[in-house]
Amino acid sequence: MGTGKRGLITAAVTVVCAVTVLAAPGTAFAAPTPKPTATANPTAASPTPTNSPTLPPNKDLEAVRKKLDKLYHDAAVATDEYNAAQEKAQKQSAAIVELAKKIVEGQKKLDELKDRAGAAARAQYRTGGLPPTAQLMLSDDPQQFLDGAGRVLQGQRATKGLIGEMTRTQQDLQRYAADASDRWDELEANRRTKAAAKKKIKQQIAAAEKLQSQLEKKEKERLAELEREAAYRAQTAWLDSGILKEINGKASKQGKQAVEFATAQIGKPYVWGAEGPESYDCSGLTSQAWAKAGRPIPRTSQEQWKQLKHVDIKDMRPGDLIIYFDDASHVAMYVGDGAIIHAPRPGRTVTLAGAGEMPILGIVRPDA
């Protein structure tokens, strides 16, 4: 880094600009938004599909359904990786900006100290280069010697203090530069992580869309029925356990605000990496809902699971977050009466669904 003030400022501004570019989120890959359909009651049964000998047997389409579930699940895992890298990049870029400011301020301070040191050197030159002590010893005026002795001691202390301050400032600048370099390396590593996650997301979504495109219209309708039936069976099994008899928690004030926000987003499309206001992914919806309620929470479902307080399912109340799957790759907001609001997956919209339609890992409470 240059020693001149102009060079330091230019370098710092360059760092800030570069950080802004590196930290910018990638372009979201939006899956086609389906035509709006009426949302089924999460606790209501789905109609039984009619059999037709001209269509593939149910077991073949059931295999397709499971394959699609896996593809979208893998895309959700990659989305969490992307969002986590993005969140870290934002923090690292902010840290680099602060370090750049400290470097500029430190260099300015060092320049001022050097100016003071130069002034002292010039004063000594004007007196013939003799140290102040020697000048006093050669003086034939005893009173001048006595008066000057105190000033000499003060000057020596000031010089020593000036040298010490310059040394500390130089050490601070070296430390800031090293910290900035480390942060930059971390930012670059996160950029690569984001790029890899983005590539995987697109691959998984593309594979799912290709698989769906190979189906005829009636096969797609049958597949949709199978999906609804699978969700209904899971929700029914969850409700049949008697869980709703145990869940009677009332929403907190912030919980009500979070639920109101999530409810207002129903119908908006799922887009991976999105956190509003026009589209959301699963954790983008829940994190924004609680941010609007005045309680910022982690951006990803996995970090929400790690950092927020866990509560027993029987103590669940509206506004709590339900974390799904063993890898905590999906999150939804409980809204009461056995229902959730969530952003399901690409090609779908924010919707009301049954809380038991997916395997529950646990419950977390943002406003504990």
Q: Which residues are catalytic?
A: 282, 330, 342
Instruction: Please provide the DSSP assignment of 92-138 as one string.
Output: HHHHHHHHHHHHHHHHHHHHHHHHHHHHHHHHHHHTTT--HHHHHHT
Instruction: Please provide the DSSP assignment of 138-164 as one string.
Output: T-S-HHHHHHHHHHHHHHHHHHHHHHH
Q: Are 190 and 138 in contact (CB under 8 A)?
A: no
Helices (H), the chain: 5-23, 58-126, 132-137, 142-213, 217-240, 243-246, 253-264, 282-292, 301-307
Angle at 354 between CA 348 and CA 356, to 5 degrees: 115
Structure tokens at 355: 């809380």
* Residues 30, 356: Cα–Cα separation, whole Å: 27
* Residues 107, 111: Cα–Cα separation, whole Å: 6
What's the number of CA atoms in the CB half-sphere (13 Å) around residue 361?
A: 19
Question: Residue 238 to residues 7, 17, 87, 121, 354: CA-CA distances in angstroms?
Answer: 66, 52, 35, 84, 9
* Residues 285, 332: Cα–Cα separation, whole Å: 8
